[in-house]
Structure 1
Amino acid sequence: MASRTPAPRQQTHLAVLIDADNAPAAIVEGLFEEIAKYGIASVKRIYGDWTKPQLGKWKQVLLDHSIQPMQQFAYTSGKNATDSALIIDAMDLLYTRRFDGFCLVSSDSDFTRLAARLREEGLTVYGFGEEKTPKPFVSACDKFIYTEILRASPEAEPAPSSEKSTAANVEEAPKPAAKPKPQKVPLDFIAKVLDDIADEDDDWVHLGALGQNISKLRPAFDPRLYGFKKLSDLIKGHPKRFELQARGATNGGSKDFYVRNAGIAR
């Protein structure tokens, strides 16, 4: 009997909706690198009034990243028609049943109800916004990533020579936004989560399970906010509070990591 070809692994399809009025173009590289960790950006749309000069920086990167600009005029001063257009499109995309999740890129709390509604349909919602984003929107998402950590590191440029530099023909370039300083690690919070999910007979918890439970309680938790690339690095960086143990494959394969609070009697 001929062997069957295994079915291809199902991919996670995401709809990326960007509020151009509340998201800086400087995050675009890091944004899509981050989204690629969670799935394929099948739809990429960005909303704003493209007749206004404020969106000029976004215009420069749309083609490079195949983002579809959605034009929305401001019908009345003081009213944000862009938000309404994004929300309507999100609901239209939801009812196609073609997506596993949504990426909402904005620091605007007006999308709080949208995020909650999408989750009610069983879809995963990833939020992307600045640290000023109101907490209700952050909490409404399954995971929230602060865009400050997605900005490209500023590259040093050589100073122009004195011969070519004159006040008349040299325009001072704008300074790139600085990376945020690492926040204080919530060690007590992590320790409590470990205590809550650990089995009575085994204090060790799989590192992945720890990360999932932390995200459920604090969607905006991200090791990069505290100066660490991964959760395992954060745990290793605090040996007085946590113990990390590698288990599993030894011949070049990947290992599983387990963690527990330090000082537990053996």
Structure 2
Amino acid sequence: MTKELENNASLAVLIDADNANPLTIAGLLAEVAKLGIASVKRIYGDWTLPNLGAWKNVLLEHSIQPIQQFRYTTGKNATDSAMIIDAMDLLYTKTFSGFCLTSSDSDFTRLASRIRESGCKVFGFGEKKTPKPFVAACDRFIYTEVFIKKENDSTKPTLKPKPQKELQNDNNLLSLFNGAIEATSDEEGWAQLGTVGSYISKTANDFDPRTYGYFKLSGLVKAIGLYKIERKENSIYIQAH
């Protein structure tokens, strides 16, 4: 069983350089800071290759330790193996409450499952192309596209809100909300929005309002336009029409 993390929880952030985007790292680490303290920040790759050159300034700015791993033969990814071995070594120290695995590669699926079996939280970060088995193996999975910022903008990432019609035609999204409201509502059918969000996160570990173009859950609910919204005692409640 995994435990809820405290604000000062020690986290190990491990990044697969071959399957991550340097433009997302600032936002990713800001997200990690909401989960706990990044006690270890390592990134794995063959740094002799020119395609990883874009990482240099990012690593210096965020104090991420690069781990060199040569490719011993064509077609075999030694980087994945090095990252997995390091993760297990860190796990055995029993000093971490959670691991943040950054990759869009399904090769880390078993690693995520093994870490969770030891009672640690696993937060996955990757692009929307990430295979579902790896997504499902994590306690929570966050798509890194939500961290990409506009040029010359150091504040907020670029989000493109989906139009209301598209949201209303998204059966999976509506099913998540309707199921959460039904499970958490009172006798009159009203459900506290925060509770609804927590329930959805437990049933869909990759759910994130930012994926739909909205920074907050309340903004997404309003955009859908199918739910009654009321504010009661400083809390937002919603009800299905």
Task: Please say whether Structure 1 and Structure 2 have the same fold, judged by a TM-score greater than 0.5.
Answer: yes
> C-alpha distance in 2, partners of 1:35/1:10?
11
CA contact (8 A) 2:42 2:65 kept: yes
- C-alpha distance in 2 between matches for 1:180 and 1:239: 19
Q: Which runs of 4+ in 1 moved over 6 A?
A: none
Amino acid of the residue matched to residue 12 of structure 1? A
C-alpha distance in structure 2 between counterparts of 1:122 and 1:209, whole Å: 24
Unaligned runs of 5+ in 2: 1-5, 168-172
2:52 is aligned, of 30, 52, 55, to 55
Structure 1 unaligned regions, length at least 5: 1-8, 157-177, 248-254
Letter in 2 for 1:102: F
Alpha carbons of structure 1 residues 22 and 10: separation in structure 2 relative to 1, 3 Å: closer
- What do residues 83-138 of structure 1 show as CA deviations (whole Å, max 9, x unaligned)? 01111111111111111111111000001111111111222111111111111111
Does residue 210 (structure 1) correspond to residue 196 (structure 2)? The answer is yes
SS in 2 for 1:41: strand
2:130 maps to 133
Change in Cα spacing, 1:55 to 1:93, as seen in structure 2 (3 Å) is: same
Give the match for residue 189 of structure 1: 176
Letter in 1 for 2:180: V
Contact residue 235 and residue 244 of structure 1 kept, 8 A: no
One-letter amino acid of the structure 1 residue matched with residue 29 of structure 2:
F
- 1:8-51: per-residue Cα shift (whole Å, max 9, x none)? x8612211000000001111111111111111111100000111
Q: By how many angstroms is 1:180 displaced?
A: 6.9
Letter in 2 for 1:195: E
Partner of residue 250, structure 1: none
Q: Which amino acid aligns with 1:209?
A: T
| Equivalent of residue 237 in structure 2, options 258, 261, 266 | 258
Return the TM-score normalized by structure 2.
Answer: 0.85
Higher Cα Rg: structure 1 or 2?
1
| RMSD, aligned α-carbons | 2.1
- Corresponding residue for 2:65? 68
Across the two proteins, how many residue pairs are aligned to each other? 225
Find the counterpart in structure 1 of residue 227 from structure 2.
241
1:122 alignment partner in structure 2:
119
SS of corresponding position for 2:61: coil
CA distance in 1, matches of 2:16, 2:80: 7
- With over 3 angstroms needed to count, the CA separation of the structure-2 counterparts of 1:105 and 1:123, relative to structure 1, is same
Structure with bigger helix share is: 2
Q: Secondary structure of the equivalent of 1:103?
A: strand
Cα distance between partner residues in 2 of 1:20 and 1:190: 35
- Tell me the SS of whatever aligns to 1:258: strand
Distance 1:48 1:111 in 2: 15
Secondary structure at 2:75 match in 1: coil
Measure, in 1, the Cα distance between the counterparts of 2:103 and 2:200. 23
Instruction: Say which of 29, 32, 35 aligns to 1:32.
Output: 29
TM-score normalised by length of structure 1: 0.78
In structure 2, the CA distance between the partners of 1:205 and 1:51, relative to structure 1 (3 Å rule), is same
